[in-house]
Amino acid sequence: MTPILEVIDLKKHFPGVKAVDGVSFSIEPGICFGLLGPNGAGKTTTIEIIEGILKPDSGKILYRNEKRGRTFKEEVGIQFQNTELPHYLTVFETLKLYRTLYTRKAKLDWIIEVCHLADILDRDNRKVSGGQKQRLLLAIALTNDPELIILDEPTTGLDPQARRHLWDIVNGIKQSGRTIILTTHYMEEAEILCDNIAIMDYGKIIDQDSPENLLLRYGEGATISIKSDTPEKIVSAVSSDVYTVEDTIEIHTDSLNECIQKLAHAGADLSNMTVRTPNLEDVFLKLTGHTLRS
Amino acid sequence: MLKRIWIIFVSRNREFYRDKSGFGWNIVFPFFIIIGFSIIFNQDDRTEYKIGVIGNGNNIKKEISRQYGNFRHTKFMEFIPVDNIVSGREKLVHHRIDMLIDPGQGIYWKSESSPKSYLAEKILQAANYSAEDESFITGTVEGREIPYFEWLFPGVLGMNMMFSALFGVGYTVVRDRKHGVLKRLSVTPLVPFEFLTAHIISRMFALFITTSVVYTGCSLLYGFENRGSYFSLMVVFSLGGFSMISLALIIASRSSSEEFAGGFLNLLTWPMMLLSEVWFSLEGARPWVRNIARLFPLTHLTGGVRKIMNDGATLYDIRYNVFALTAMTVIFLTLGSVLFRWRKAD
């Protein structure tokens, strides 16, 4: 199948920083593709180059196997990480404004329904909540009935409830067969929404695959969490990968029983110990040596 | 293309009239200026010079009684009783009065550093003048004199247009760039030409509405007349508006700092306000001051409108102003369009 978007050896340097350093990936139509990485990994720069906002130093971007032409703006829906909405307009007027800018148009009723905006249509843009604003920004990205939708950290700053609400909406859009590119630093978001994930750090893609395959490849064994005040000599008794994550020590091990026995034998306080199967956060930790939140 | 220009135009207009404080200020501000200045400058008993007088005026030295009597009858003078020489001199030193006079002693005091004190002295000296000494023949100005507010009115209208155009467009575009509104628009099929055209038309529309309201309101309040044609007036106002908006687009072309834009706009508006003959004529000012003033669109707008309204001039009569405004519009608009960027610099 011809990829809807292909990024080939993309590079972008800012003074003193290699923001994007030879990034390549291709996206099949109809999937949700995730760019996962911490702040400063180069996700937004990559996305802004794709959107045409930034010019790359080198590299190619192909849309439907061709260079992006004039029609690209007509066919792509974009939601930025931080955007202020036009002042003194209602939600409905804002949707109408952006919809009129395109030749290609989605039905307003469909946008309003999909993004759950019916209750706030007459509300001034400045008076909507954080979650409502993100839904409106997503709705704006849909006004041209796009084939490809680019969402740059759409849930950053939202409370857990608003975040889950937005995930439901994005899942709904995905079901309609549209292709989505999503950047995020929430591993849970990537796991729930994405069919394919590229893990980015320091401007490079470290690995790319489906969440399931990434977990299979890097997520063997289990992760033990113990108190961060555990003495170092106890922790060093285990011959596994050890990381300090916020206020806990995380030990990634392929031999759970043996690891727990060693800790107990060394005198570790295991009363608050937790054991869990690895997730994408652990995969990222294993690949980069630091957490997504760091 | 037209649909895109139209929707941006409509959105900008909504923003303009829904911002009630800004909209109200655009309408009310010129009224305040006109009313205030017409009250100040049209009062018959308004004061130009303040003269402190020691004593109650009953005991006037004989040698100066005629001169002092004439002096007291001079118009635009206010004579203020002063208790004694010490307090009188104190007032003179602090320029609270322009001259101190003691008619009982036949002495006056003046301030060497005050131009008004100098002129008050000249008036006192001239009060001794008699009709027999006359060497000039007195002539009178023919025709209807132009009241001060009629002279002031075109300047105030022009100044209001200047503030509305420069701050209304310049500041708004910079703010929208700073907050990413322009960045969001840049990824739609909207092109800078459509965006800038919509902004210009929208602001021209706003200027037309506010100027019409203020013109009609002041006309009803003061009953003044436009001695020229309304068509000529519309042409000059339109060119003036276009040139100011185009100037605003240069300022707004790249910056994303509201502080910088605000400072720069003040830097532009203050010299224009002072040197474009809004408040006073530059007749007799130094040539370099007049040359600088000619570079400002407000000078040509005010000058053109004043000649039409006050003197009944035609567009041909004010062709120099019309040409200057047209040239400025073309230059500013070209520069503003070439320099325009959707986003702030990386």
Residue B343 touches partner A, C-beta closer than 8 Å: yes
pLDDT over 80 (residue A178): yes
**Model confidence pLDDT, tens digit, residues B313-341:** 899 999 999 999 999 999 998 998 888 88
pLDDT of residue A168: 85
Segments making up each domain of chain B, as ranges: 2-40+147-339, 49-133
> B4 to chain A: which residues are within 8 Å by CB?
100-101
Residue B181 touches partner A, C-beta closer than 8 Å: yes
How sure is the predictor about B219, in pLDDT bands with cuts at 50, 70 and 90? confident
Q: How far is CA B337 from CA B246, B325, B346, in A?
A: 9, 18, 20
Q: How many residues does chain B have?
A: 346
pLDDT of residue B142: 64
pLDDT over 70 (residue A83): yes
Question: Between residues B41 and B294, which one has the greater pLDDT?
Answer: B294
Cβ neighbors of A267 (< 8 A, separation 6 or more) are: A234
Residue B319 touches partner A, C-beta closer than 8 Å: no
Question: Between residues B182 and B1, which one has the greater pLDDT?
Answer: B182
> A87 to chain B: which residues are within 8 Å by CB?
15, 19
pLDDT of residue B232: 93
User: Mutation test of the interface with chain A: which of B13, B177, B187, B256, choosing the one with the most A Cβ atoms within 10 A?
Assistant: B187
Point out which residues pair with A8 in neighbouring strands: A60
Q: How far is CA B130 from CA A128, A236, B69, B70, B119, in A?
A: 80, 116, 13, 10, 19
> A14 to chain B: which residues are within 8 Å by CB?
346
Among the ranges given (A25-34, A284-293, B116-125), the one the predictor scored with the smallest mean pLDDT: A284-293
Q: Look at residues A195, A216, A237 and tell me which one is the last residue of a structural domain.
A: A216
Averaged confidence pLDDT in chain B: 84
Structure tokens at B152: 């002031």
**Model confidence pLDDT, tens digit, residues B157-175:** 888 889 888 888 888 888 8
A155 lies in the same domain as A258: no
> A76 to chain B: which residues are within 8 Å by CB?
187
Residue B193 touches partner A, C-beta closer than 8 Å: no
- In terms of DSSP bridges, do strands A32-36 and A58-63 run parallel, antiparallel, or are they unpaired? unpaired
List the single residue in A with minimal CA-CA distance to B3: A100
Q: Are A75 and A66 in contact (CB under 8 A)?
A: no
Q: What is the DSSP string of chain A?
A: ---SEEEEEEEEEETTEEEEEEEEEEE-TT-EEEEE--TTSSHHHHHHHHHTSS--SEEEEEETTEE--THHHHHEEEE-SS-PPPTT-BHHHHHHHHHHT-SS---HHHHHHHTT-GGGTTSBGGGS-HHHHHHHHHHHHHTT--SEEEEESTTTT--HHHHHHHHHHHHHHHHTT-EEEEEES-HHHHHHH-SEEEEEETTEEEEEE-HHHHHHHH--SEEEEEETTS-HHHHTTS-SEEEEETTEEEEEES-HHHHHHHHHHTT---TT-EEE---HHHHHHHHHSS-TT-
Count other C-beta atoms under 10 Å from residue A264's C-beta. Answer: 14
Question: Between residues A61 and A267, which one has the greater pLDDT?
Answer: A61
Report the percent of chain A where pLDDT is more than 70: 95
Mean pLDDT in residue range B196-215: 88
Report the distance separating Cα B183 and Cα A53, nearest Å: 8
pLDDT of residue B209: 86
- In terms of DSSP bridges, do strands B49-54 and B99-102 run parallel, antiparallel, or are they unpaired? parallel
pLDDT of residue B140: 64
Report the distance separating Cα B287 and Cα B324, nearest Å: 18
Backbone phi and psi for residue B123, each to the nearest 5 degrees, phi listed first: -65, -40
Q: For residue A290, is it within any domain?
A: no
Instruction: Answer whether A83 sits within 8 Å of B183, measured CB to CB.
Output: yes
Of A51, A101, A140, nearest to B7 by CB-CB distance is A101
List the single residue in A with minimal CA-CA distance to B17: A88
Instruction: Answer whether A101 sits within 8 Å of B176, measured CB to CB.
Output: no
Angle (CA) B3-B9-B13 rounded to 5° is: 145
A225 lies in the same domain as A202: no
Mean pLDDT in residue range B269-297: 84
Q: Which of A93-97, A258-262, B222-226 has the highest mean pLDDT?
A: A93-97
Report the percent of chain A where pLDDT is more than 90: 21
Instruction: Answer whether A88 sits within 8 Å of B14, measured CB to CB.
Output: yes
Report the distance separating Cα B24 and Cα B206, nearest Å: 12
pLDDT over 60 (residue A292): no
pLDDT of residue B237: 93
Of B14, B176, B190, nearest to A101 by CB-CB distance is B190
Ramachandran category for residue B68: left, alpha or beta (phi over 0 → left; psi -120 to 50 → alpha): alpha
pLDDT over 70 (residue A189): yes
A99 lies in the same domain as A55: yes
Instruction: Answer whether B4 sits within 8 Å of A78, measured CB to CB.
Output: no
Half-sphere exposure (Cβ direction) of A208: Cα atoms closer than 13 Å: 13
CATH for A183: 3.40.50.300
A28 lies in the same domain as A63: yes
Report the distance separating Cα A210 and Cα A214, nearest Å: 6
How sure is the predictor about B143, in pLDDT bands with cuts at 50, 70 and 90? low
Averaged confidence pLDDT in chain A: 84
Instruction: Answer whether A96 sits within 8 Å of B7, measured CB to CB.
Output: yes
A55 lies in the same domain as A86: yes
Q: Which of A9-18, B39-48, B51-60, B69-78 has the highest mean pLDDT?
A: A9-18
Q: For residue A286, is it within any domain?
A: no
pLDDT of residue B141: 62
Instruction: Answer whether A73 sits within 8 Å of B189, measured CB to CB.
Output: yes
pLDDT of residue B316: 93
pLDDT over 60 (residue A213): yes
Complex ipTM: 0.77
A102 lies in the same domain as A226: no
pLDDT over 70 (residue A290): no
Question: How far away is chain A from the Cα of B337, in angstroms, using its nearest Cα?
Answer: 19
Mean pLDDT in residue range B267-286: 81
> A78 to chain B: which residues are within 8 Å by CB?
184, 187
pLDDT of residue B46: 65
Instruction: Answer whether A88 sits within 8 Å of B15, measured CB to CB.
Output: yes
Among the ranges given (A138-142, A159-163, A164-168), the one the predictor scored with the smallest mean pLDDT: A159-163
pLDDT over 60 (residue A291): no
A49 lies in the same domain as A176: yes
CATH for A228: 3.30.70
- Sign of the torsion angle spanned by Cα atoms B186, B187, B190, B192: positive
A47 lies in the same domain as A150: yes
pLDDT of residue B145: 67
Q: At what angle do helices B230-251 and B192-222 cross, to 10 degrees?
A: 130
pLDDT over 80 (residue A106): yes
User: Mutation test of the interface with chain A: which of B1, B5, B11, B23, choosing the one with the most A Cβ atoms within 10 A?
Assistant: B11
Q: How far is CA A113 from CA A79, A136, A173, in A?
A: 18, 12, 11
A254 lies in the same domain as A182: no
Among the ranges given (A17-26, A216-225, B86-95, B125-134), the one the predictor scored with the smallest mean pLDDT: B125-134
Instruction: Answer whether A54 sits within 8 Å of B186, measured CB to CB.
Output: no
Q: Which of A137-146, A149-158, B18-27, B41-50 has the highest mean pLDDT?
A: A137-146
Architecture of the domain whose range is B49-133: 3-Layer(aba) Sandwich (3.40)
Structure tokens at A73: 């703006």
Residue B187 touches partner A, C-beta closer than 8 Å: yes
Instruction: Answer whether A84 sits within 8 Å of B179, measured CB to CB.
Output: yes
pLDDT of residue A96: 93
pLDDT of residue B305: 92
pLDDT of residue A89: 92
Contact residues of A toward B, CB < 8 A? 14, 51-54, 73-74, 76, 78, 80, 82-89, 93, 96-98, 100-103, 140, 144
Q: Are A79 and A151 in contact (CB under 8 A)?
A: yes
pLDDT of residue B273: 85
Q: What is the DSSP string of B83-146?
A: S-HHHHHHHHHTTSSSEEEETTTTEEEE-TT-HHHHHHHHHHHHTT--GGG--SPP----SPPP
Q: Which residues of B152-176 are buried (b: 16+ CB within 10 A; e: fewer)?
A: bbbbbbbbbbbbbbbbbbbbbbbbb
- Domains in chain A: how many in total? 2
Q: Are B53 and B104 in contact (CB under 8 A)?
A: no
How sure is the predictor about B78, in pLDDT bands with cuts at 50, 70 and 90? confident
Question: How far away is chain A from the Cα of B190, in angstroms, using its nearest Cα?
Answer: 6
Count other C-beta atoms under 10 Å from residue B334's C-beta. Answer: 12
Instruction: Answer whether B176 sits within 8 Å of A88, measured CB to CB.
Output: no
Angle (CA) A103-A109-A110 rounded to 5° is: 80
Mean pLDDT in residue range A16-30: 89
List the single residue in A with minimal CA-CA distance to B190: A101
List the single residue in A with minimal CA-CA distance to B341: A53
Structure tokens at A68: 């992006």
pLDDT of residue A78: 92
Q: Are A80 and A137 in contact (CB under 8 A)?
A: yes
Tell me how far apart the terminal alpha carbons of chain B are, to the nearest angstrom: 29
pLDDT of residue A49: 92
Question: Between residues A242 and B157, which one has the greater pLDDT?
Answer: B157
Instruction: Answer whether A14 sits within 8 Å of B346, measured CB to CB.
Output: yes
How sure is the predictor about B138, in pLDDT bands with cuts at 50, 70 and 90? low
Domain interval for residue A74: 5-216
A96 lies in the same domain as A228: no
pLDDT over 70 (residue A109): yes
Structure tokens at B316: 């041909």
Structure tokens at A231: 């003495």
Among residues 159-178 of chain B, which lie with CB inside 8 Å of chain A?
176
Q: For residue A292, is it within any domain?
A: no
How sure is the predictor about B234, in pLDDT bands with cuts at 50, 70 and 90? very high
**Model confidence pLDDT, tens digit, residues A31-69:** 999 998 888 888 889 999 998 888 899 999 999 888 888
